[in-house]
Every structure is written in C-alpha cells, then in structure tokens.
C-alpha cells in the first residue's frame, strides 16, 4: 500500500541518481512527495526522475553557485521546499593520511562537506517558517573512524556538527535537521562491488554487524522518509546509525576475522 506521509511536500535529494540517494528519492516519492533529484550523472538522474514522475537538475556539489541555482529553481517552479536529503558525497581513495595529497583532501571536502553546507544552508533559508526537514547521509566511518580513509572520515564526522548547528539555529523557524549514518550498505558503489569479490572482505563486513549481513539502500531510505515526515516533528539534531549493529559493540572474533 502506498504511504502518504509526505503527501503535498516538495523534497530535494542530492546524489539521488544512484545508490542510497536513489533509494531515498524512490521512497519519498512512494510516500507522496514531489521529488527533485540533483546530481552529476545526468543520464541516471533523469532516468530515476522519470521513473518516479519527478524532476532532475544537473548539480555539481563542489560548486556553491550551483546550489543557489538549484534552490532558486525549486522555489520558482514549486513555490516551496519542505525537505532536503543530502546524499551527494565523494569517498576519495584508500591510503594513510600521511600519504594523502592536499588536492585529494580538498576534492573530498569540496563535495562531502562544503557541498553539504552549501545546499543545506540555502535550503534552510527558504524553509524558514514552513516546518522543513534536512537529512544528511553520513556514515558509521564518521562515528568510529576507518583505516586509510582520512578525508572521508573527517567530512562525515563534520556533518554531525553541521547537523546540530543547523538544528539549533533554525529550530526557532520550525526547521529540523538530522543525520543518518549507514553501515555497510550494498549500494552498488564501485569500490564496494570490487570488495565484494573478496571472501575475506565479506566475512569481515558481515562479522562486524550484529545482524550478520550488509544493509540495503531501502533500509536507509525508510528512515530518511520518516525524518522528512511530520511523524518526526519533535526529533532534531540527532544522528541515527542504521548499521545492523556495527557501532554498538565488538563482534565475535571468529566472525570479524579476515583470515
């Protein structure tokens, strides 16, 4: 049965062409929202928008001016913006912090943090007085740290501070901000697809979770839709780990072993 918890709401999803962002867009549309997808992959983004009867805007999260353009276009076309899901991110490579170049560091920050701030700050401004909701997609890596992923870990950790700041600054205007931290999600991301070919990787990932499996993008999307909805009207400034139990304790050694 089709939910209607977002009926009448206008929702923007950045990075909504693929993976977790796509799942969030699909779920929001099923819940009755008018969904706008913004991203760099024009072909995939337009296809997803067509599938849900939504709209696609070409958007480079590393370009703050483009954030202005997208928000202005939404207000002009729809007259309002009720929800924002910030899923656009750049993971960067895998190597020690001491071996990371400054250009790579900046490329990750430009999309995963600076881009998140740019779109969210502009969205928050137009949401004032309308009871809007902003949802950032972070990561358990931002909660716990991760080997050889310094820029991504730092950017995702910083989203928690940004979430709390927006929640505190904009709460008086009725706007809420929250974060979702996914665990290991079978999102189709190329580096994950490569790692899935390794039995050791799969044993490690599954062993790190209480539930013993990778998550599905739809399992992040249902939480996103809830946070966008009026059902979460008294929930703000929080981080919700949707991680199969990754962050609640140490796994059994025999399950987490890479050997």
Phi, psi (rounded to 5 degrees) for 215: -90, 170
> Cα(204)–Cα(210) distance, rounded to whole angstroms?
12
Active site residue 156: yes
C-beta neighbour count of 132 within 10 angstroms: 25
C-beta neighbour count of 254 within 10 angstroms: 9
Please, what is the end-to-end C-alpha distance for the chain in angstroms? 45
Catalytic residue among 59, 121, 152, 229: 152
Is residue 191 within 8 Å of residue 90, measured between CB atoms? no
Cα–Cα distances in Å, from 235 out to 13, 168, 180, 226?
20, 12, 13, 10
Active site residue 87: no
Catalytic residue among 18, 87, 156, 181: 156
Active site residue 9: no
Phi-psi region of 245 (alpha: psi -120 to 50; beta: other; left: phi over 0): left
> Cα(90)–Cα(62) distance, rounded to whole angstroms?
10
Catalytic residue among 87, 121, 133, 139: 139
Environment class of 172 (CB within 10 Å of its CB; exposed 0-12, middle 13-18, buried 19+):
exposed
> Cα(119)–Cα(21) distance, rounded to whole angstroms?
15
- Active site positions, annotated: 139, 152, 156
């Amino acid at each position: 049965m089709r939910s209607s918890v977002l009926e009448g709401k206008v929702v923007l999803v950045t990075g909504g062409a693929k993976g977790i962002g796509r799942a969030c867009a699909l779920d929001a549309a099923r819940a009755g929202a008018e969904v706008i997808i913004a991203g760099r992959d024009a072909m995939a983004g337009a296809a997803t928008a067509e599938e849900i009867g939504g709209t696609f805007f070409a958007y480079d999260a590393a370009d703050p001016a483009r954030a202005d353009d997208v928000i202005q276009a939404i207000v002009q076309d729809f007259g309002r913006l009720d929800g924002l899901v910030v899923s656009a991110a750049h993971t960067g490579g895998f190597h020690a912090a001491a071996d990371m170049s400054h250009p790579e560091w900046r490329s990750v920050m430009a999309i995963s943090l600076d881009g998140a701030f740019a779109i969210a700050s502009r969205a928050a401004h137009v949401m004032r007085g309308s009871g809007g909701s902003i949802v950032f997609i972070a990561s358990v890596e931002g909660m716990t740290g991760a080997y050889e992923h310094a820029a991504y870990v730092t950017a995702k950790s910083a989203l928690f501070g940004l979430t709390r700041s927006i929640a505190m600054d904009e709460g008086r205007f009725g706007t809420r901000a929250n974060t979702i931290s996914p665990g290991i999600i079978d999102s189709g991301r190329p580096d994950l697809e490569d790692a899935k070919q390794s039995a050791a990787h799969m044993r490690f990932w599954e062993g790190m979770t209480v539930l013993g499996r990778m998550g599905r993008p739809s399992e992040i999307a249902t939480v996103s839709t809830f946070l966008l909805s009026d059902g979460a009207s008294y929930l703000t400034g929080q981080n919700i780990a949707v991680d199969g139990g990754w962050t609640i304790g140490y796994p059994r050694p025999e399950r987490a072993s890479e050997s």
